[in-house]
Each structure stands twice: as structure tokens, then as C-alpha cells.
Structure 1
């Protein structure tokens, strides 16, 4: 019996505002490419479990979907709302008590310039949708690219939302809106400014400012007020169902230095008052996120009621790309989760015991690629995993083994980011345990070597002390020059160069480098995003030149002697496979000339005797190892194997078979009938419903009883009968093209682990028990 379970999923958040939401039960849902990912930042069951919770998502496919759990606990799509002709940009939802049937409403805003209102039952609460003070009349605020905020009020007689006013004041696009109802638990100065039931609206804009607006029941002034210009500061009166309400500008929050993408009020909570009654409390605290790389918490100052910045969190310098897209309070307000413009998450905890002290500290959060993941590779001893992506990063994943409350716990995390590049990364391969070579959409192969800090940190976090062998001569870390693409090694005793170069006109802000002392620090927990960007780079030790176009594939022989690589090619002249000596880093004079178009994959056999290449010209080719340093591999066979491009290939664990996968929706297994002749024939053709984009042989052959088998017949030929061993549950799989597969060397009996990389931005590790 085969059982496949998910061990680990790494995926980044979509780089847009409104892409994540933290529910009252402690679950964070966020958009990840075409998927909705679910994440518990804190321990499960930290907050009360809620029943009948639903998620509402909007997509670039012009639809909104409602998701809820079925009886088995699985999330299912319970409704799809169609009608928009553009991508959905924002969603608000609320229990609408004033609607006759007591249904709830969902409002969607789209890039087609329209807002649609939908009715449904039992939905979560929302952001830019609320009730007028002391009433059950829904009110909707909508922000626009024309710099104004439009206010709509529900009309029960016509069953529609009617535009009642526009709020002016922002000088650029309005990026986010959030409502909160004042519940009257503030101090004296706050109670002088707000009355219980007043509705607060916060708006964030690209003009760098946050504006607060107050909506309250209108009380006529005893004397006629002086007329003011309509400049966004005057009080505006609206009439709804014979009741009058005033809309007025309350406060301007200044502090961010760039676009403000997100504002959110702290969630209301249930509390017991002095009389013992349970009631909702809405804290007057607001969190904002900006692309200036900071988050701010705002609240009214106790003595004056003036809104001030309580605390500012984030990063100083140029290491977090374009800052933050959103920030959210936990249900109890003691934690904050934000997501950045590079798909990262940041988790902060307030350690203070007294309200208002704001003793915030960072905690370990999840991370992942934010573009297609193109290639994977386990290190030669299968202790950690590397992945490369079109997001221009190479990431290192490893287990964090520790003891929690007397229990052994092991969870996978991103432990390093060896390469942060300026080109989309396409391929990588290990040269030895702590050295790898990668290729990108450029002509140069780059070789990286692990620094001492990385090796020691991995040894500490994984508990594998054997990792510390032979590390004395390694640099402590690496820095990325402000105007370069090559990671520069940093050794103990190196002095910083910032002071010297500031005088050259670059300025101190141009440097994101770390000191040798900071780089040498051994991590006691998985790194935060700021550390991943700055302290976990690997030094670049060599560049390999020769290709004339963008690189597509690279592999290294198992004895670490030779590197084979290929690049994009439209002619046979450029479709050659270049070989490099991994000791001298020099190109071998004789390359392998076997294809007419782009070589998509190079694979050395485990015994180093063969080099297999597959191509867009639908051919596979095999070169044989020779005891000749001038021409170490010579072409001995090739075959037109498929009707369409061949995407991938792999050797079996014993090198007696290899497999090819193609766009023609087939994979073919090839064997060598006569071991004395370099000739391979197809022994099996498997047909699939879609193109085969990634293949990999397991590190050993197994059957259902767990026995290790060599699939051979009495005369030495491979068997030609293949059956499907197991098909993974669709919920475990990628939602898009699978770009790479990599089996981990067996670490336990009757258990294998398979890593996969996909176009859906995900890196996954599966446990295969048999």
C-alpha cells in the first residue's frame, strides 16, 4: 500500500495589496499565484474555533469565489460569482441585517470600473463595508484612481446602493479603505472626540498619507456655522431614511515616506465590563503598510486625543525590495503579520504586559518564491534542498530539528538565500556538498561556495554536527556590491568599505552589505526575511564563459570533474553542449555537437560513464566517458525519440534505464539490450493526458512489499511491463506546470521523499511511504 502525504510547501504571497487576510480563528489566507494558501502563523487552536466560516477570493479571471469547509473539513468552492469583465481588485463583505431576507452581502470592485453587489448567506466580515451609526443601514466606501472616495448607502425601497457623497482630500490613487465602529471604551480625551456608535473610515493613498473620516448622527448646531470651502475639511450632511448623518474629516496621519498600500483596524473582541456584561470592544488602533519598507501602528494620544504613531516596524536600507503590500493584526492584537513586495511574510509579537508599551519583536514566518520555480537539486548527501526561480533567487530549504515541551519537532524552513541575482534563474546543479553552479537568462555560469556561517547555522538547526567538517578555511559570509551581480566573499577581519565609498558619491544608503561580525553569527532559529536577504548569501567563486545565448540547462558529473551546460539555440551552431573542467574552471576544447535546436536538459549517469542530452529537435543523444582530458565525452548514440520537444530526462538508479518526457504527452523508457554495444531501444511508452514536463527515477526500485528490486530478466534485459504505482491526490499537487522533480536519497526504511517545483511558485516535498 502506497501512502503519499505532504511534508512541506513553500510558496510566496502574491505581490498585491489585499492579497492576505487574518481570520478570527487565527488562520491566514493569502493568494499565491492561482492558489489560495492557508497559514497558521501561531499554534493551531490559539484562538477559538469558528463554525461556518467562509473565504471569499477575487481573481484576474474576472470571478469571485466563495470557499467553505465540507463535512470532512476540506475546503470546497461553494459559489462562483461571474459578471465582471476585468480583474477583481477588492472585496468587502458583511452580514446585512437590514435586508429583508437577512442574507449577507458581498461587494466586488473590478478593473472594469464597476462595483457589483452580491447576496449570500453566512460570510466573514469585511473592510470597506459597514453600517451607518446606530442603524442597520449598510454603507459602502469605494476608493478610486481619480483620488476621491465615494460613499454609497443601501436603499431598502429600491434594493440597491445609492451614491450619496464623495470625499476629497487625497492627491493620488486611494489604495485601501477600512471601517471601524467606536464602541465607547476609550479614555476621556477620546470620548470627547467620538461618541459611541460613530463610524470611523481610514483611507490610504499613494500620496503617502492616511486620512481618517468620521461619520456620526448629525446634531444641528445652536448657531449658524460659518460657510467653508469645499476643500475636503468641511462637514457634509447626508439624509438616509429621514435620519441625518454628518461626514467630516477627522485626522491626517503623516509618517510614511512612500505609497501607503494598506490600512486595517485592530479586530474587535468580546470583553466583560464592570457590571459583568459581555460586549464588543473596538480598539482605536490602526496599522498601515507602505512600500517605504515600514509598518506603523496609530492610535489617539491619551491626553489630547491627537492621532500619533505608536510604533514603527520594518527595515532600514535597501534589502526588502519594494516594501510592504499589507499588514494585519491577529485576533487579539498581540501579533502582526505583513506581506512584502517580494512575496515574503513578516511576523511580529508584542511582548509587553502593559497595554501601550509596544515591545515588538520579530518571529519566524514562512517564505517562498513569488514566480515560477524552474529547477531543484538535493545536495549530494541529501541534507538540504536548493531551488531556483524566475524571481531571480536561489533558496535553501532544510529541516529545523528541535525539542518543544519534551517532544521532538521537525519542520522545514527556508534557511538561506545563496543567490540573489539580476536575471531570471533557470537551472542549477551541485558540484560537491557545499558548492553549486547555476545558470540564468544570461550567458555566464556562476559557481557558489558555502560560507562558514551557513554551514555552522545548518549544523545547529538540523542537529547534524557532521556538517561542520572542513570549514575552517571558508569565508564567514558574502556581500552583494551595490552596483554588481557577483556575491563578494567576506573573511574575518575584513574592514567595511562603506566609509571610503560614500565619498565617491554613492551615499551610505546605497549599501546593503553586512559586517563580518554580523555575517559570522550562527543562527539559533530559521532566519527572518531581512536576514535571508542580507546575511545568507554564498560567495561567488567563479564564472564560466562560452555560451552566446541564455542558459537553459546545467549538470555536473557525480565525481565532480565535469560540468555540462547548454543555452537557447535556433541553429546547430549554438545547440552544442559545452563541457567545463570543475578543477581548473576551463572549458573543454571539444564540445558535444549532437543537436540542431535548444538542448533542454543534460544528465550525467550515476557511474559518470554516460552523458544524456535531450532537445527541442526531439532527439536524445548519449555521449560516452573516455580517458581523454581533451575530449572526455564523445557522442556514441542519438535517436529521434518523440514527436514534440523533449522537456526532461533521467537515469535509473543503476544506469540501465533512462526515461524521456515530451510535449507529445508521452514518456518513454529506454534500455540497452546489448551491454557491449552503445545502443538503446524504447522498452515502454507511457501516455499521459498532458505534456510531460518533468521526470525523475527514484533512488532505488521498490515494489508494494518494500523489497528493493533490479528489474531484469534472466538474459539481462529489462522488463517491458510498467504499471502505475500511485497517483497523487490532486489536492497535493501543483496547480500548473511542474518544472522539476528531485528524489531525495533514502533516509529511512520504506520511506522516500520527492521534491517538486512548479510554475505555480511552489516548492513541495512529499513523503512516499510504501
Structure 2
């Protein structure tokens, strides 16, 4: 292979953090917290490639992200559960990293939850769970603390907003774990904010605040867990009698029985006084409201327009009616109430945590509970908001990866209790990777996964058993249409799958014609455990689409029917491996004694366990692997040993012990892999002792060929199947620092020919959990899937 050092990052999948402040949108870029990383999504990319980069730096969950176009250039300001505020400046070489960290501010002593910036200025404020709001003055390479406002023991800040008043004064609104909004003002000459007013009216915690200019006035929107949005007007004149009048007299107030106090508050200074009055109460959401955002001025809106996101699974767009002045909701996006159904089965519970405007006001985006982004674009031709392709990904550690045997798609599984299928969307000479299905939405953390051919996989979870799933016809035909794969035509696939409302297993179902009523839902004769969530019924046209599924389709209509359950283990499943002929499944579970540290084998024809179980280890088996010809089964464990089992000639499903090394490594062994078919008896092991060891099996003897020393514990490794028989074999391994290495090994001796590290910007910010090379891929290079504890899935290409 020539130029094997040339790599590219083809795809990154990363779910968003559930925090109302964890994302912001500026021209061409949407930045959001993704675990400890900040994901950069190019929303204007015509190629629809999704996340373009993950910015590393935080050591704990990112809670708040804000763009700031300051006099010193574009900055990204972030805060996290690591108690730090970090400043990132747009990098000159965006191919290397889009943002470079220029400062770490350590003034807070608890999780940072909110950041607000003064547009065009150098002032920004941060609020944290330590009960303080801090005002900073930003420079070119850092920021200086100007003031710290202590809110304890009254409340903790969850939301802030900052705006400039006429005359140069600055107003700061602060709210959080109470029902009041505090207004602080500072003059252009005095660097200290002073508390000047407290706005009451809400009856729950306040999650979001946002200012917008309305002529000479300012409007403040506040969103609360009491299910209401309140609008407050900052009028740039002296108090009038109307401002002190009856609260129900104004046309902008929605009719309600709730208390509507319209006391006028004075804020500002002698040269610039404002009267703050209650403007309107917006009623319409059925659950907590997490964010309220005013449309940008560049959206060419004639009057202020507000976007709100709620836990009721909807986005609402509000504006004041020109004739009456009453604030009304003229657009609602998301899921209507009738479709909520069995949210535990579909994974859609929790609603929308974030709602954002495109900087030009032409589209909106929202983040759901399970980390997926949806996007809607306004089509002026048909006067309708049209949903577009969003981005998605896991929100917890990625625990397992498995390619389909023909390389047509990638399966991933995670501690976020979902299994996801990713594939390439090919159209008009373009190709981009997307989530095509969510085969398994589970009630337990998922730990491992293995592919059984093209249409089946097996996964293991904390529930102590394994489940086998079959690809449904709806997914098969969609994959064939959008990804160019060969469709299954033998009629062996079920139409689709569904999960009964009170059930735990995905059931195969028949797709319903578009005009056909749903049997049994009217007469109510179904058993409760078999009752179907009406929102997740699969119509014949449900997945007959010309684009990857949107989030609502992924969550409801892309389950795979369950084919079998495999019992036998007494503790959480720790490892699974499938034979290359798809005839055998090997599994292990967590163990602290020899009694449970066994390897169980299952044949896939009748799904029976092959007894007796294989014994060799005394502690948890961490990884299993079948050799390329399925002649051998390799196991490694926390007891620092590896073991090899050989298939018997008389009974092809039976394996017997062949060789073992009780001191294979000096610390626990975490992963293993067999070399490609050109060297069927060579294997590698890796462990906490910061070493990768290459071994060769000869008869019943095993010799050590090579030891590759590293600077960190090695947590995952994988051999590449060469595209052509050459002089070198490619090995990839990753460590607990997130770094991935590529090693060229001489095919005859397996000595190291060349070792190189993958560029840091392509690597993870936490330990690598699994590596898998894509089989059967004949493109411009070999593709490597990388799973890690930072929750991201990456696909790297090593170019030919």
C-alpha cells in the first residue's frame, strides 16, 4: 500500500447533551455539547455530511455553548461540569481544527450552566451551580473577571441574558431555580452591575431568557417549568398611566385565570430610564419549556418572532397578531399529541431540550432527549416548514461495533441503551453517512454486538441474556434504494417490527396499507401485553422515502424484529463473537470467580447451547474472536491470560481447549484479534500493561513474535483484511487516552515496519472501546470504525 499515512475522517456521529444551553448557531455552523466534546455541524453543507469536527478540551460534560463575534474575531465560549469556562478562537487552518483553545477560566467552583454574550461587545457573563454569576471582559487571548454576583442561598442560576440599553448602559437578566427574574444594570462608566428590579409571575423554575430589540424598546422572553412563556417589555420612556393600568386591558395579554401583575419597574440611570412591564403570557405548551429564542433580525420578520421548545415534543413559533396585538402560535413543529403513544418503546420520551434559529431565520433546529437533532426549513413557495436531514449519535459510551459481513452498514451499540445502524446515502455522485435505523431500543445498557451475515445480529446487555434480531423488509428495501446494496428477495424477512406497549421484545408485524384501518384498536380485544402503540404502526409507505429517516421515523418505525433469546449466563454479558460462517455465537459474562468465567457457545441453526461451556479463565472474559477460518476461538480476560480453543473434526459446533498462557500480559488483557486470512494462525492481544503482543500458533505451541510498547493502556485492536496480498499487514490499536495508532507489520515475520499515530483531531477524548475494519470495501482505501467512551462513532479512511 502506498501513501498509507494519508487519512481522512469520513464520518462522525455524536449525540447532543441534554441541557437547554448546550448549543448555539451562527453563520454556517451549529455547535453543541456532545459529552465532553463540542460538535461542529455545518448545517449549510449541500453534501449533508453532518458533524465536521469534535472540539476537545473539557474533562466533563459540556453544559453550555455560545458563539461570540467580538472585536477580536469569532470565539466559541463553553462551560461544563468540569467547573471551567473555555474560550476557543476560530482556527486559521480549519482542516486541522476549527477552533483552538486560547483560555481556561477557573473562577467557578461548580458546574457552569449558562453563558450570555453582549453582541458586538467584549462582555460576557457566566452562571454556575456554585450560586454565582460572573461578568468577564474578553480580550484577544483570554478574559478578565470584572464582577462576581452571589445569588445563594436564594437560587442557582440556570439562565442569563444580556443586552445594551440606549445611552450605553447594559442590562443583565438572571433566573434559575426560583420563580423570579432579577434585573441587574450597569452604566457605561461603572463596571459593576447593580440589582434594580425583580420580576415575578412564574410559578416554576425558569429555564431560558432571551432579549430582542423591538423598535426603541426591548422585549425579554422567559420560559419556565410552569409550562408558560412570559414576555416583558422594556419601554424607553417615563412611566405612563397606561403602564400602571389594569393588567387585563392590554390586547397583548392572553386570557387566563392566572395572576397577572403588571407593576412597572424602573431600571436604568438618569440619562437612560426604562419602564419594565409585563407584556404577555403565552399559553400552549403542555409540559416544561426549556428554551425560548427570538428570531434573528436578519430573518426579515416585520415583528419579533419567538421560538419555544418544550418537553411536550413540540416547537412553537409565536408572533403578535398585527390587527389585535395578541400573541399567537402560528406554527407548531414536532409531534402532535395523538402520536405520543408508548414513549418507552419508541425512545421518544423527554421532548425537545433545545430550539434554535438559523442565523438568517430561514430554518430552525431542535435537540431531543436521545441526542438527535432535527431541522426544519421554511419553504416560502408552499408556505410550509419542511423537515430536513438532521444529525444523530449515541449519548453514552459506545460499547460495541459490528459491520455487516458485506460491509454494507455499521451496527453500533452503547450504554445509552440503543443499537443504531449507519450506512452511506449515495445520490447524484455524492455520498454521506447517516443513521438508517435504530434496531434495538432497550431497557438495559448494551455491552457488545456481533454480526450474523447480512440480515441478522446478536447483542448482549446488562440483562444477562443475548437477543438476536433480523433485518425487516422495510429497512432492507430502504438500504437498497438509498445505499445501493443488494436487496433480499427470498421472502425471508418480516415487513417491520413493533414493540408492544407492555412488552419487552420487538415483535414482527405486517405493514399496513396506507388506507387500511388498524385491526383491534377500535374493538379493544387485544391482550394488553400485545397492544400496539398506534403511533408506531408501519404503513407500506412509511419508509418509502428518498432520504435517510428523520428522527421521528428512526424512533418509531425502524425497530428490527427479535428472532431469538440466548440464556445461560448469571451476570451481565461482557463479550460476544460470531463465527465467519454465521453458524456459531460465543459469549461471556462478568465474573469474579471461575464458576461464571465460562464461555458459552450457541449454534445458530436450532439456537441451542453447545455444552459443556468452555473453561479457562478465573475472572471476566473481556474479548472473544474466531479465526478467519473459524478453526479457532481466542479468549482474553481480566485474569491476564489468553486461551485458544480448537474446533473438533467430528462435531463442527464443538470446541475444545488447545493452548493457554496464564501470564500472557503482566496486567489484565482487554482485547484480541486474529490476523487476516493470509496468516490464519497469528493473533494479537493488548492490555493494561501498555503493550500489544503478536503471537503465532503452531500445533499446540504458541510463540511470541513481536511486542509493541506504547505509552498508555491499549483497550482495542483490529487487523485489516488486505485489499491485495502484499508484504505488509495493517494493525490498528487504540488506548485509554483516545489515541489511535496504525502499525504496518511485515507479513512474513510480523515485525514492525512502520508505526504512526492518527492525527489528534480525528481521535477521541476518552478511551477507545472498539475498532472494526470495514469488510469487502473496494473504494479508495480501507475504512476503520472507531468507538469510544466519549460517545462518538468515527469512520476513518486509510487511503491507498
TM-score, normalising length from structure 1? 0.88
Tell me if 1:584 matches 2:606. yes
* 1:42 and 2:66 matched: no
Tell me, in whole angstroms, the C-alpha distance in 1 between the residues paired with 2:141 and 2:355.
Answer: 22
2:648–2:654: 8 Å Cα contact kept in structure 1?
A: yes
Aligned with 2:786: secondary structure? strand
CA deviation vs aligned residue, 1:206-249 (integer Å, no higher than 9, x gap):
00000000111232437996799997421122341454321110
Structure-2 separation of matches of 1:496 and 1:533: 23
Change (3 A) 1:198 1:119: same
Partner of residue 56, structure 1: 77
User: For residue 236 of structure 2, what is the aligned residue in structure 1?
Assistant: 217
CA distance in 2, matches of 1:611, 1:438: 19
Partner of 1:362: 387
- Correspondence 1:237 to 2:237: no
Tell me which protein shows more strand as a share of its residues: 2
Q: Which runs of 5+ in 1 are unaligned?
A: 97-102, 183-195, 272-280
- CA gap of 1:308–1:606, structure 2 versus 1, over 3 A, is same
> How many angstroms does 1:81 deviate by?
1.6
Quote how far apart the aligned CAs of 1:308 are.
0.4
Alignment-derived partner of residue 555 in structure 2: 533
Counting only pairs closer than 5 Å after superposition, residues 225-624 of structure 1 correspond to structure 2 as 232-269=261-298, 283-315=303-335, 316-317=339-340, 318=343, 319=346, 320-353=348-381, 357=383, 359-403=384-428, 408-464=429-485, 467-492=486-511, 496-501=519-524, 511-518=534-541, 521-624=543-646
Question: Structure 2 vs 1, CA of residues 44 and 487 (structure 1 numbering), >3 Å: closer, same or farther?
Answer: closer
3-state SS of paired residue (1:532): helix
Structure 1: distance between partners of 2:162 and 2:132: 20
Residues 69 and 76 in structure 1, CA contact (< 8 A), matched pair in contact too: yes
**TM-score, normalized by length of structure 2?**
0.85
Among candidates 200, 212, 222, match of residue 180 of structure 1: 212
Contact 1:452 1:471 (C-alpha < 8 Å) held by counterparts? no
Deviations, residues 376-396 of structure 1 (Å, cap 9, x unaligned): 011111111100011111111
Q: Secondary structure of 1:380's partner?
A: coil
Q: Give the CA deviation at 1:15.
A: 1.3
CA distance in 1, matches of 2:512, 2:390: 32
**Displacement after TM superposition at 1:708 (Å):** 5.0
Q: Secondary structure at the match of 1:180?
A: strand
Cα distance between partner residues in 1 of 2:230 and 2:480: 50
Equivalents in 1 of 2:8, 2:113: separation in Å? 35
2:475 aligned counterpart, secondary structure: helix
Which string of whole-angstrom CA distances, capped at 9 and with x for unpartnered residues, describes residues 380-428 of structure 1?
111111000111111111111101xxxx101111111111111111111
Q: Secondary structure at the match of 2:609?
A: coil
- Separation in 2 of the partners of 1:472 and 1:243? 76
1:145-204 Cα distance to aligned partner (Å, 9 max, x none): 12111100014454111111111111010000000011xxxxxxxxxxxxx210100000
- The alpha-carbon distance between structure 1 residues 512 and 574, as it changes in their structure 2 partners (threshold 3 A), is farther
Contact 1:490/1:516 (8 A) holds in 2: no
Alignment of 1:2-21 (within 5 A): 2-21=5-24
Change (3 A) 1:140 1:314: same
What does residue 748 of structure 1 align with? 778
Q: Say if 2:669 is the partner of 1:669.
A: no
Structure 1 pair 215–653 and aligned structure 2 pair: CA distance change class (3 A): same
Give 1:719 deviation, angstroms.
1.5
Compare 623-632 and 373-382 and name the one that shifted more. 623-632
8 Å CA contact 2:723, 2:778 repeated in 1: no
- Corresponding residue pairs, total: 717
Distance 1:258 1:717 in 2: 62
For the 8 Å contact 1:337–1:347, the answer to whether it is kept is: yes
Task: State which of 86, 89, 114 in structure 1 corresponds to 2:113.
Answer: 89
- Alignment equivalent of 1:76, drawn from 63, 85, 100: 100
CA offset at residue 630 of structure 1? Answer: 8.9
Q: Secondary structure at the match of 2:719?
A: coil
Cα 1:27–1:631 change in 2 (3 A) is: closer
1:565-611 Cα offsets, whole Å, 9 max, x none, are 00011110100000111100011121101111111111111101100
Structure 1 Cα separation of the partners of residues 539 and 241 of structure 2: 70
Structure 1 residue 330, shift from structure 2 partner:
1.1
Q: Which residue of 2 aligns with 1:638?
A: 660
Q: CA deviation at 1:559?
A: 1.6
Q: Deviations over 1:123-143 (max 9, x none)?
A: 99xx94444543321110011
The more displaced of 221-230 and 341-350 is 221-230
Cα shift at 1:119: 0.3
Q: How many Å apart are 1:68 and its aligned residue?
A: 1.4
Match of residue 278 from structure 1: none
C-alpha spacing 1:226/1:39, structure 2 compared with 1 (3 Å): closer
Classify 1:442/1:82 alpha carbon distance in 2 versus 1 (closer, same or farther; 3 Å). same
* Secondary structure of the structure 2 residue equivalent to 1:468: coil
1:679-731 CA-partner distances (Å, limit 9, x unpaired):
212211112121110000111288xxx945479xxxx9952521443211000
Pick from 168, 180, 189 the counterpart of residue 200 of structure 2: 168
Residue 366 of structure 1: CA displacement? 1.1
C-alpha distance in 1 between matches for 2:243 and 2:394? 61
Backbone CA RMSD of aligned residues: 2.8
Contact 1:570-1:597 within 8 A present in 2 as well: yes
CA distance in structure 2 between the aligned counterparts of 1:222 and 1:493, rounded to whole angstroms: 64
> Which of 31, 34, 43 is equivalent to 1:32?
34
Give the 3-state SS of the residue equivalent to 1:693 in structure 2.
Answer: strand
- Deviation at 1:333? 1.6
SS at match of 1:203: strand
SS of alignment partner, residue 15 of structure 2? coil
